Amino acid sequence: MTDATEKTADASAADLTKLRQWLLQRVSQGLEANGGQPSPADVRQHLAKAFEEAGAGLSDGLKRQLERDIVNELLGYGPIQQLLDDPTVSEIMINGCDRVFIERQGRLEQTSIRFANDETLIRLIDRIILPLGRRIDGDNPTVDARLPDGSRVNAVIPPVALDGPSLTIRKFAKERLMVENLVSLGSINEHMATFLEACVVSRLNVVVSGGTGSGKTTLLNILSEFIPEGERLVTIEDSAELQLHHSNIVRLETKPANVDGTGEVPIRHLVRNSLRMRPDRIVVGEVRGGEAVDMLQAMNTGHDGSLTTVHANSPRDAASRLETLCLMSGIELPLRVVREQIASAVDVIIQQSRMRDGSRKVTSITEVLGMEGDTIVMSELFRFDETGIGQDGKVIGAHKATGIRPMFGPRLEAAGFKLGPEVFGATEMSYRTANGGRR
C-alpha cells in the first residue's frame, strides 16, 4: 500500500468515525425527546431520519453496518455485542482498549475490534455491572458479576490494571451438554461414561479437578444430571452456572460485600447453612478456601453423593490442594487429621484437562483408597494416553482403563450397576487376581 493509499484509508476511517458519532448523537436526541424505554424499532426509525438528514451517498452494506453499530451502542454492549451474539465464541478477553481476544473452539484469536480509549471501555464496564448492583472505581478496582443470561463477568481497572481496563466475559452455554456429547467429542469414552453414572447414582463423593478453563463446571453439570429425581439438591456457587433440572433443588449464590464492606455472604457460610436444609446432595461449584473443611465434614456425616470442583493439575495435586484449603480455614487441625478427613470423605477424583489443541478431556479417573501411614493412597482406574499431534493440530490419543477394578465395586452393585471386567480393561482372571491382591 502506497503512502497516498494509506492516507486515503485513514481519512475514510476518520470520516466514518465522525459520521458514526454524528448519527449516534442524532438518534440519541430523538430517543430522549420521545422518552420511555427505546426499542430496536425506535432506534431504526430515528436512524432512518438521520440518514436522510445526512444526505450522504452510503451503500446499503455500509448503512447496515452503521445501523448494527448504533443499535448495539444504544441497546447492547457496543462493539462486543456481535461477539456476545456469536454462538461460536465461548470467551471474550479485553486487554485494554485496543486488544480484544476471543476463544473459539478452544483456540484464542485476536479480533479487529477496538475501543476509542480507556474511558469508553470503562463506560462499557459500568453499563454491564451497574444494572447488576455492582460498582467499580479506584477504591474498588475489581468486580465479579453474572449477566442475566448466566455469563460470568470479571473487570479490573487502574490502578490495579497497569495497562488499562480489562474485561473478561465467559459466555454461558445456551445449549446443554449431555454425557453423550462428551463421548462424541472424545472427552471420555463409553465405559467411562457408564462408570461415572454409576458413581453418582451410587452416592459416591466426587471431586472434579482441573485448571482454569479446563471444563470443570461443564463436567460437574453433566455429572449432576445423573442424580436421581427423588433427591433434594442444594447447589452452592460463586456465580450460578449449573443448569440442573431437578424439581427439588435450592440454588444458592454468594454475595459480595456492600460498599461499606458489610453484608458479604461467602461460600463457607452457605455450605454451613445448607446442612440445615435437609439436603440429600450438596453440590459446591468450587472450593477455594476454608469451606473445604465444611464440605469434607458434610461428606463424612451423612451427605454421601456430594460433588465439587477444585483447581489442581493432577489427582495427587487435588488432594494436596484440599489439604491447603483446610489449613486455611482457621481451625487448628493436625495435618494427619486433615488427610484422614480427605481420605475418608472423597471416593473419586476426576481430572479434567485442556489439551494443547484447545479440546477438553478427562485425563484421569482415580479412586481414593484410604491412608497408608501418613500418605493418602490412590489408584488410577482410567487415563488418557496422548500419542502425538496430528497434521490438523489435533491431539492424538485414547482413553484406556488400567485394568484395576475399584474397591467400592460392591456399592455400585448395590445400586444396580454390575459393571463387567471389560469396562475396566481386565479379564475375569486378572480381575480376581487384582481383587485378591488388594486390601
- The CA distance from 403 to 413, in Å, is 18
Residues 162 and 208 in one domain: no
Which residues fall within 8 angstroms of residue 128, CB to CB, at 6 or more apart? 77, 145, 147, 153, 155, 167
Q: What is the DSSP string of 139-175?
A: SS-EEEEE-TTS-EEEEE-TTTSTTS-EEEEEPPPSS
The predicted structure's pLDDT at residue 426 = 66
Asked if residue 194 belongs to a domain, the reply is: yes
Q: Domain ends where: 173, 196, 225? A: 173
Residues 108 and 126 in one domain: yes
- The CA distance from 154 to 165, in Å, is 11
Residues 401 and 351 in one domain: yes
Which residues fall within 8 angstroms of residue 88, CB to CB, at 6 or more apart? 104, 105
The predicted structure's pLDDT at residue 67 = 76
Asked if residue 273 belongs to a domain, the reply is: yes
Residues 207 and 329 in one domain: yes
Using DSSP, state whether 262 is helix, strand or coil: coil
Q: What is the mean pLDDT of the chain?
A: 86
Q: Domain ends where: 173, 207, 242? A: 173
pLDDT exceeds cutoff 60 at 437? no
Residues 432 and 340 in one domain: yes
Asked if residue 274 belongs to a domain, the reply is: yes
The three grid cell numbers given for residue 200, joined into one nine-digit string? 453418582
Residues 157 and 199 in one domain: no
Asked if residue 63 belongs to a domain, the reply is: no
The predicted structure's pLDDT at residue 439 = 35
Q: Domain ends where: 173, 188, 213? A: 173
Residues 389 and 354 in one domain: yes
pLDDT exceeds cutoff 80 at 414? yes
* pLDDT tens digit sequence for 57-94: 677 777 777 877 777 777 778 889 889 989 899 999 99
What count of other Cβ atoms lies within 10 Å of the Cβ of residue 112?
6
The predicted structure's pLDDT at residue 37 = 67
Residues 91 and 109 in one domain: yes
- The CA distance from 291 to 236, in Å, is 11
Residues 319 and 394 in one domain: yes
The three grid cell numbers given for residue 182, joined into one nine-digit string? 462428551
Residue recorded with cell 436444609: 277
Residues 169 and 190 in one domain: no
Return left, alpha or beta for 133; rule: phi > 0 is left, psi -120 to 50 is alpha, else beta. left
- Top pLDDT among 31 and 295 is at 295
Residues 210 and 270 in one domain: yes
Side-by-side strand order, sheet with 307-311: 249-253, 233-237, 281-284, 307-311, 206-210, 348-354, 360-372, 375-389, 395-401
Residues 44 and 90 in one domain: no
- Top pLDDT among 274 and 11 is at 274
The predicted structure's pLDDT at residue 310 = 96
Asked if residue 65 belongs to a domain, the reply is: no
The predicted structure's pLDDT at residue 36 = 59
The three grid cell numbers given for residue 260, joined into one nine-digit string? 461499606
* pLDDT tens digit sequence for 155-207: 999 999 999 999 999 988 777 789 999 999 999 999 999 999 999 999 999 99
Q: How many structural domains is the chain composed of?
A: 3
Classify each residue of 173-201 as buried b or exposed e, where b means 16 or more C-beta atoms within 10 Å of its C-beta: beeebebeebbeebbbbebbbbbbbbbbb
Asked if residue 66 belongs to a domain, the reply is: no
Range of the domain at 162: 79-173
